[in-house]
Chain A
Amino acid sequence: MNLDAAAWEALRLSLWVGCWATVLAMPLALWVAWLLARRDFWGKSALNALVHLPLVLPPVVTGYLLLMAFGRTGPLGRLLEPLGLTLAFHWTGAVLAAIVMGFPLMVRAMRLAIEAVDPRLEQAAATLGAPRHAIFARVTLPLILPGILAGSVMGFAKAMGEFGATITFVANIPGQTQTLPSAIWSALQIPGGESQAVAMVIMACVVALGAVVLSEALARRVAARIAGT
């Protein structure tokens, strides 16, 4: 298997974008999952719908909406420009697209984990004098850790594989915004590019499989620690 420099660059960029997207989205997803699982507030169903929207919209539409909002002339893009943060046609934009597309998957997994925690355990912790933050850190968080991990791996895998919204929002610039799926797509457009495409497809499979295996192993270890066996 002979990969050219552009393919390695695409893999590197995909991993880079995937890591950034996962790390940035995780705390926000946890917070939103917490709100949806535990709190009742006005507009809760609207928030729920908004979070899930990228799951049902065609990715191209999501990418176009991102471009409208965060493009140089878009309302949010104009706000970020003076801060030195350019998103459109830039790898940071690929991160944003990956966050938006992976967010529903992360929130879903984390919300399920939070809903599975028996609130009576948290009540017991409160009667022992534990302040709110300590209850979260010492009781709730350890119990939902498998869900957080699972959600994060889902988000990472989604970020690695995101194509439609990414190519619409940040295009397909080698070394800049050309992630692995974009590179595979490009290779398939060139006559005789199949061998490169196949090599990258195998690479994508290896990374995806590795992520799943890793998350399973982590979840098992955490679950075992929680069950205390």
Chain B
Amino acid sequence: MTLDLHIRHRFADFTLDVACKAGPGITALFGRSGAGKSTVINAVAGLLRPEAGHVAIGGTRLFDAQSGLFVPPAARRLGVVFQDARLFPHMDARGNLMFGARFRPAGATGAGFDDVVALLGLSDLLHRAPATLSGGEKQRVALGRALLSHPRMLLMDEPLASLDGPRKQEILPYLERLRDGPLKLPILYVSHAVDEVARLADTLVLLQDGQVRAQGPLYDVMADPAAVPLLGVREAGAVIEAEITAHAEDGLSTLRIDAGVLELPGVQAAVGARVRLRVLAQDVILSRERPEGLSSVNVLPVVIDSVHPGDGPGAAIGLRAGRDRLLARVTARAVREMELVPGMSCYAILKATTVAPGSIGR
């Protein structure tokens, strides 16, 4: 089931013009506030009628400006999880979940009530009123309610944006379970938080001022030097997959990636697990010779892929480390003095603290 959309809509101060596809897995739509992300979700859900374009899912047209086709939201069978949960205040959690199940079409398939309750850990919440639930609990109920409507796809509009750090950490594993679980439901996930996107997304679409600036597999877009200004220089950084091979007694864990091994602190997953590492571009140091006598032990041989000068004194360097891609941010002066050019071999030094525990996830 693939979502195919092209939406054009004029607002007072900007024009939204977005074309993208969202297939299996999680497709993240990333952009700053006001980039038009929520408008895209509303247009796909049928809560807003765009001026031009089309929306189709699995080959079925839901909206087509040319022919005037507009399938109303109730007939689209897209599960929407809103930022503010929007639970019905006069029903308890069970009532909200049952509301999701009540109107699904006869032929629809999807998770049953007990499965959803187990998947999202809702069994203790069923008789609670929305007013007594925490923000994270509300979002879990809202997610369950959407799942029980047996949608063809899930649309999530900044579901974690109104939650604080710990609450986010509480709900992220559920989203990962949903992504990796047996439901295989495609998810369009709107967010302005790079850490969420890095942890969850399979495909990434970068929006700016209502336009798509970059899109592709997460690992490629995150490692693209051209995407640095879109993600923000402090937030930009490649995502690589690693396998945990050992946990040492001093708190460091050994992780294998294609180009070698890394030793990182604070890794929670079990030996053998595959995790995602987010390596911030500003935490990668480049050296032309293999460094000796450094306090950091994470040194990888890399090949420079591309050099992308920024607007300011910085430059983004795309790197290849075996099959993985990395991203480093250095000064433009360093580029000149070290004569960094594509094709050159050098060494990337990763600070051990580069990978925060929150950035690790499967």
Residues of A that sit less than 8 Å from B by CB: 118, 120-121, 123-132, 134, 138-139, 142-143, 225-229
Q: Which A residue's beta carbon lies closest to that of B100?
A: A128
**B74: chain A residues within 8 A (beta carbon):** 126-132
* Chain A residues whose CB sits within 8 angstroms of the CB of B78 once the complex forms: 127
Binds A, one of B8-16, B51-59, B124-132: B124-132
Tell me whether A229 and B86 are in contact (CB under 8 A).
no
Q: How far is the CA of A118 from the CA of B78 in the complex (A)?
A: 21
A141's nearest neighbour on chain B, judged by CB, is: B90
B20 in contact (CB, < 8 A): no
Q: Which of B79-93 contact A (CB under 8 A)?
A: 79-80, 82, 84, 86, 88-92
The interface of chain B, by Cβ under 8 A from chain A, is 45-47, 72-80, 82, 84, 86, 88-92, 99-100, 102-105, 129-132, 145-146, 149
Known: A128-B103, A129-B74, A130-B102. A228 touches B132 (CB 8 A): yes
A-B contact number at CB 8 A: 78
Most-contacted residue by chain A among B72, B76, B103 (CB, 10 A): B103
Kindly identify which residue among B47, B129, B149 contacts A129, using a CB–CB cutoff of 8 Å: B149
**Per a CB cutoff under 8 Å, which of B80, B90, B132 touches A226?**
B90
| Besides A120-B84, A120-B86, A128-B100, 20 new A-B residue pairs in contact (Cβ under 8 A), listed by A number | A123-B86, A126-B73, A126-B74, A127-B46, A127-B78, A127-B80, A128-B74, A128-B99, A128-B102, A128-B103, A128-B149, A129-B77, A129-B105, A129-B149, A130-B74, A130-B102, A131-B103, A134-B103, A143-B90, A227-B129
Q: In whole angstroms, what is the CA distance A27 to B297 when docked?
A: 77
Contacting residue for B99 out of A123, A125, A132, A226, CB 8 A: A125
For the complex, give the distance between the alpha carbons of A118 and B87 in Å.
11
Measured CB to CB, the nearest residue on chain B to A130 is B103
Whose C-beta in chain B lies nearest to the C-beta of A143? B90
Residues of A within 8 A of B86 (CB): 118, 120-121, 123-124
**Distance (Å) between the CB of B179 and the closest chain A CB?**
21
The residue of chain A having its C-beta at the shortest distance from the C-beta of B150 within the complex is A129
| A228 close to B91 (CB less than 8 A) | yes
Residues of B within 8 A of A130 (CB): 74, 99, 102-103
Q: Shortest Cβ distance from B19 into chain A, in angstroms? A: 23
B99 close to A138 (CB less than 8 A):
yes
Q: Report the separation of the CA atoms of residues A228 and B131 in the bound assembly, to the nearest whole angstrom.
A: 7
Q: Please, which residues of chain A bring their CB within 8 A of the CB of B105?
A: 129
Q: Which residues of A contact B129 (CB under 8 A)?
A: 227-229
Nearest chain A CB to B284's CB is how many angstroms away?
A: 42
| CB proximity of A225 to chain B, nearest CB, Å | 6
Partner of A123, one of B47, B76, B88, B91: B47
Check if A228 sits within 8 Å of B103, measured CB to CB. Answer: no
The chain B residue with its CB closest to the CB of A227 is B131
CA–CA, A138 and B131, complex, Å? 18
The 5 residue pairs across chains A and B that have the minimum distance between CB atoms = A228-B129, A129-B103, A124-B86, A126-B73, A226-B90
Chain B residues with CB under 8 A of A128: 74, 79, 99-100, 102-103, 145-146, 149
Quote the shortest CB–CB distance from A117 to chain B (angstroms).
Answer: 10
What chain B residues lie within 8 Å of A225 (beta carbons)? 90
Q: A120-B82, A126-B74, A127-B47 are in contact. Are A228 and B89 (CB under 8 A)?
A: yes
Contacts of A143 in B (CB 8 A): 89-90
What distance in Å separates the Cβ of B80 from its nearest Cβ neighbour in chain A? 4
Q: Are B132 and A229 in contact (CB under 8 A)?
A: yes
Give chain A nearest CB distance to B165 CB in angstroms. 26
Contact of B89 among A120, A127, A131, A226 (CB under 8 A): A226
| Cα A126 to Cα B144 with chains together (Å) | 16
Asked if residues B90 and A142 are in contact (CB atoms below 8 Å), the reply is yes
Complex: how many Å from CA A138 to CA B146?
A: 17
Are A228 and B80 within 8 A (Cβ)?
Answer: no
Which residue on chain A has the smallest CB distance to residue B85? A124
Sample (16) of A-B pairs whose CB atoms are under 8 Å apart: A120-B86, A121-B86, A121-B88, A123-B73, A123-B86, A126-B72, A127-B73, A127-B149, A128-B74, A129-B77, A129-B149, A130-B99, A143-B89, A226-B89, A227-B129, A229-B132
- Smallest CB gap from B145: residue in A: A128
Task: Write out the residue numbers on chain A whose beta carbons fall within 8 Å of the beta carbon of B90.
Answer: 142-143, 225-226, 228
> Residues of B contacting A121 with CB < 8 Å?
86, 88-89
**Min CB gap A139→B, angstroms:** 6
* Cβ 8 A contact of B45, one of A127, A139, A142: A127
Shortest Cβ gap from A85 to chain B (Å) = 40
Chain B residues with CB under 8 Å of A132's CB are 74
CB of B104 to closest CB in A, whole Å: 6
Question: How near does chain B come to A45, taking the closest CB pair, in angstroms?
Answer: 26
What residue of chain B has the Cβ atom nearest to residue A145's Cβ? B90
What distance in Å separates the Cβ of B111 from its nearest Cβ neighbour in chain A?
15
Closest B residue to A139 by CB, please name it.
B88
Centre residue among A120, A129, A134, A225 by max chain B CB count within 10 A: A129
Minimum CB distance partner of B130 in chain A:
A228
Q: What's the least CB distance linking A20 to chain B, in Å?
A: 30
Tell me the bound Cα distance from A229 to B92 in angstroms: 10
Complex: how many Å from CA A225 to CA B146? 24
Q: How far is the CB of B41 from chain A (nearest CB, A)?
A: 10
